[in-house]
A and B are shown apart, each in its own frame.
Chain A
Amino acid sequence: MQRIGVFVCWCGSNIAGTVDVQAVSDALRNEPGVVFSTNYQYMCSQAGQDIIIQAVKEHNLTGIVVCSCSPRMHEATFRKTAAAAGLNPYMVEIANIREQCSWVHKDMASGTEKAIILGKAAVAKVNLNAPLTPGETPVTKRALVIGGGIAGIQTALDIADAGFPVDIVEKNPTIGGKMAQLDKTFPTLDCAACILTPKMVDVAQNDNIRIFSYSEVEDIKGFVGNFDVKIRKKARFVKEDICTGCGLCTEKCPVRKVPNEFNLGMDNRRAIYIPFAQAVPKVATIDPDACNMLKSGKCGVCSKVCTAGAIDYKQQDEILDEKYGAIVVATGFNPISMDKFDEYAYNQSKDVITSLEFERLTNAAGPTQGKLLRPSDLKHPHTIVFVQCVGSRCASCAEKGKEYCSKICCMYTAKHAMLIRDKYPDTEVYVFYIDVRTPGKNFDEFYRRAVEEYGVKYIKGMVGKVVPEGDKLKVQASDLIAGKQLHIDADLVVLAAAIEPDKSARPLATMLTASMDTNDFFTEAHPKLRPVESPTAGVFLSGACQGPKDIPETVSQASAAAAKVIGLLVKDKLTGNPCVASANEMMCNGCSTCERVCPYGAITYIDKEFRMPDRTVATRRVAQVNPAVCQGCGACTVACMSGAMDLRGFMSSQIIAEVDAICK
């Protein structure tokens, strides 16, 4: 039998104004198990907590009921109080007589009556409480970062600098991601490569970081602190450790017309290639779909010219099994396809391009060596039209595009427009916008400079149609402020395509059991208070995989994710939530039903020997809950038909006791 103390809080007049607290503590004194009952002005105050500690000692209490505000407010406080008094913290139950009673009921009589009933329910529950101790699991002190863009790079560097080993898995032959493709960055206009490539070198030289480039995550098992990950290292047909990155092979390769993905197909590369000069790792990769040797066995030029002997046409994919304590997702974004927006003639004219293509077009390492030449005839364009929000902010019922704002387009378009006007003042630049969104440090100033200093023509309105005719692009648009329909003969049209999460994110989320929103962005554990954590313990989010972000935001989130990872990896052991499920093996049927509903894969089965009453030994399949993985939702307890599965802290018998107390 428990010895329960009841402590009724007045919360000043917050509770006492509508609930007769004396009547409540008097009524509850007569409940089974209750040996002490009192009330006090502020139970959560130090004086109030002292009353509890005193009572525990004087009356040898084994359980505590606090009738007060919501447990979401002070459950943790009173659990600490109990611990201070020498009790197990989980011997405390809260009756919520403020938010769910005194604040919502005006009438003293009914408020008091309800408060008593809620108190009785809490007493009934505590009568069945048992001390709970959180489980402990060890932590593998190594982190995995999936994605080697600026987000992944920053996260990895920060984790490594704190002294923990970290691996980056990047599906492309080099790290660097989208930022490596950019020309300048807003609002400072410093060159992307100048600030990114030193970081890439840092990654390569950091002893704590391993880069698995041209690799993909194939399978993830385990749980926070203890992930088992299978990584597929795709065959690049070049021995990474031997290749010096001299680039001779890429000059001699006879297959010259492979669309160069780094320049978004605007020029060509060879079948053996290094994506760009500052690639990390700087090693060549053979494209098996283009290489004559791999396709037909006829060529072998690269092997002949490679003095280091790095070419290996027989190389196979390699599967690595690695263990990690934490996983950071940094899978980034891509511009959406423009197929559904062909009113802008992207598929009809080479001179209608996306903003990312424009970045390559103005980049000194790009297909035109940084000269602004339009793709169709390599002539200098004199009239350029930028179209904002192509595929962003589309209602779902419009059946194309994305509902969200892509966030970065307003600023990079201002940057593009400004750079053009700066280098080529003879060029007319129009920007069609719905709204110009510039919340960020020095952002609006930047946009205003584009307008005021550089004379970029910002027009409130949208482009309705682009018609290529002759060597012009006839742009039909609205100018809502002038109330006009404009017809502009443009030489180049640049579309600010909406961005979307990388396609690899969805299967990865499934492997991680991490949740995603309807747009395939990873969901954060809490939108305000835990923005860099996934709800799945041990999984963290970095960069645009969580939502559209510019570089400074991405880097901040990357470092924040690193801080969270470091906070996890410094622990030797993890203490879990003790309110987890557990199976009574004597009753378990081993039927696998609970395993099917568990969202965390916390339940496994073992064959266990049982000594029967007749002294024989029988082997039965029984469920085992991993307390480090179980989050305590209780889905399994209802799915279990034999009643073997129960949830600590919310046992069936406890909930039924509450029901009975309320319905008595």
Chain B
Amino acid sequence: MQVNKYRPLIVAFCCNWCSYAGADLAGNNRLNYPADVKIIRVPCSCRVNPSFVLRAFQRGADGVIICGCHPGDCHYTSGNYYTRRRMALLFSMLDYLGIERERTRLEWVSAAEGAKFAATMNDFAEQVAALGENKRLEDLRCKR
């Protein structure tokens, strides 16, 4: 048995109206997911500036996940559509720089999807844990 198993640090940005409520529902239903996941509440996924994602990585996060309302369900009607474009381009760029693409994720979780929230976090935490510690994104200028 491994005692000091590596635990990743995961930052989850959740929109207030859907995903944060989905996370609350996961709690109400006592659906477990790793304590490695730390949630930051934002009004809408479109409030998440790509620089927040980079900031988290640079400060030592091993994975960053952004959760928003499903397309068409945004409380602000269109916020998640902007998020989708921003994150698609950011993730693609990180991949281009040689960063493991499994460290980032954008997921749509509704207020009714407590189970999906827990399942997503379990899956993502496992995926990030499998990669090990984030080294590359701590310094994108990559000073050797």
On chain A, the residues within 8 Å of B128 by CB distance are: none
In contact, A104 and B118 (Cβ under 8 angstroms)? yes
A614-637: CB near B (< 8 Å → 1, else 0) gives 000000000000000001111101
In contact, B75 and A658 (Cβ under 8 angstroms)? no
On chain A, the residues within 8 Å of B106 by CB distance are: none
B129 close to chain A: CB less than 8 A: no
A423 close to chain B: CB less than 8 A: no
In contact, B27 and A662 (Cβ under 8 angstroms)? no
Known: A105-B35, A121-B38, A652-B49. A662 touches B11 (CB 8 A): yes
**Contacting residue for A100 out of B23, B44, B60, CB 8 A:** B23
Complex formed: what's the CA distance from A101 to B121 in Å? Answer: 13
Complex formed: what's the CA distance from A98 to B33 in Å? Answer: 14
Known: A72-B24, A664-B59. A650 touches B43 (CB 8 A): yes
What's the minimum C-beta distance from A559 to chain B, rounded to whole angstroms?
27
Complex formed: what's the CA distance from A599 to B81 in Å? Answer: 11
Known: A104-B33, A535-B77, A663-B60. A638 touches B40 (CB 8 A): no
B22-38: CB near A (< 8 Å → 1, else 0) gives 01111110111111001
Complex formed: what's the CA distance from A100 to B23 in Å? Answer: 7
Give the residue among B9, B41, B118 with the most A Cβ atoms within 10 A.
B41
On chain A, the residues within 8 Å of B59 by CB distance are: 659-660, 663-664
In contact, B47 and A633 (Cβ under 8 angstroms)? yes
In contact, B52 and A655 (Cβ under 8 angstroms)? yes
Interface bracket on B:
35 or more
Q: State which residues 1-34 of B face A: CB under 8 Å.
A: 9, 11, 16, 20-21, 23-28, 30-34
In contact, B60 and A96 (Cβ under 8 angstroms)? no
On chain B, the residues within 8 Å of A607 by CB distance are: none
In contact, A114 and B41 (Cβ under 8 angstroms)? no
In contact, A113 and B35 (Cβ under 8 angstroms)? yes
Known: A117-B38, A662-B40. A635 touches B79 (CB 8 A): yes
**Contacting residue for A647 out of B28, B43, B72, CB 8 A:** B43
A70 close to chain B: CB less than 8 A: yes
Known: A100-B27, A104-B26, A104-B33. A599 touches B77 (CB 8 A): yes
On chain A, the residues within 8 Å of B47 by CB distance are: 633-635, 637-638, 647, 650, 655
On chain B, the residues within 8 Å of A96 by CB distance are: 24, 39, 41
A225 close to chain B: CB less than 8 A: no
In contact, B56 and A103 (Cβ under 8 angstroms)? no
Q: State which residues 639-661 of A face B: CB under 8 Å.
A: 639, 647, 650, 652, 655-656, 658-660
**Contacting residue for A656 out of B25, B55, B60, B86, CB 8 A:** B55
In contact, A633 and B11 (Cβ under 8 angstroms)? no
Give the residue among A535, A634, A647 with the most B Cβ atoms within 10 A.
A634
In contact, A659 and B11 (Cβ under 8 angstroms)? yes
What's the minimum C-beta distance from A351 to chain B, rounded to whole angstroms?
42
In contact, B43 and A638 (Cβ under 8 angstroms)? no
Complex formed: what's the CA distance from A597 to B59 in Å? Answer: 30
In contact, A638 and B86 (Cβ under 8 angstroms)? yes
Known: A650-B47, A656-B55, A663-B61. A638 touches B82 (CB 8 A): yes
**Contacting residue for B52 out of A99, A513, A632, A656, CB 8 A:** A656
A73-115: CB near B (< 8 Å → 1, else 0) gives 1000000000000000000000010111101111100110110
**Contacting residue for B32 out of A73, A106, A664, CB 8 A:** A106
B42 close to chain A: CB less than 8 A: yes
A515 close to chain B: CB less than 8 A: yes
Known: A99-B28, A634-B42. A114 touches B35 (CB 8 A): yes
Give the residue among B20, B30, B75, B77 with the most A Cβ atoms within 10 A.
B77
Complex formed: what's the CA distance from A107 to B59 in Å? Answer: 26
Complex formed: what's the CA distance from A113 to B9 in Å? Answer: 12
A118 close to chain B: CB less than 8 A: yes
On chain B, the residues within 8 Å of A647 by CB distance are: 43, 47
In contact, B30 and A633 (Cβ under 8 angstroms)? no
In contact, A103 and B21 (Cβ under 8 angstroms)? no
On chain B, the residues within 8 Å of A515 by CB distance are: 77
B92 close to chain A: CB less than 8 A: no
Q: Which 7 A-B pairs give the minimum distances between C-beta atoms?
A: A99-B27, A634-B47, A663-B59, A633-B76, A103-B27, A110-B35, A99-B24
Given A118-B39, A655-B49, A662-B11, 8 new contacts (CB under 8 A): A99-B27, A104-B32, A535-B75, A635-B76, A635-B78, A652-B52, A659-B56, A663-B61
Sample 23 A-B pairs with CB under 8 A, ordered by A number: A72-B20, A96-B24, A100-B23, A100-B27, A105-B35, A106-B32, A118-B39, A513-B77, A535-B77, A579-B43, A599-B77, A599-B79, A634-B44, A634-B79, A635-B79, A638-B46, A638-B50, A638-B82, A659-B11, A659-B61, A662-B56, A663-B56, A663-B59
Give B residues with C-beta under 8 Å from A: 9, 11, 16, 20-21, 23-28, 30-35, 38-44, 46-50, 52, 55-56, 59-61, 72, 75-79, 82, 86, 118
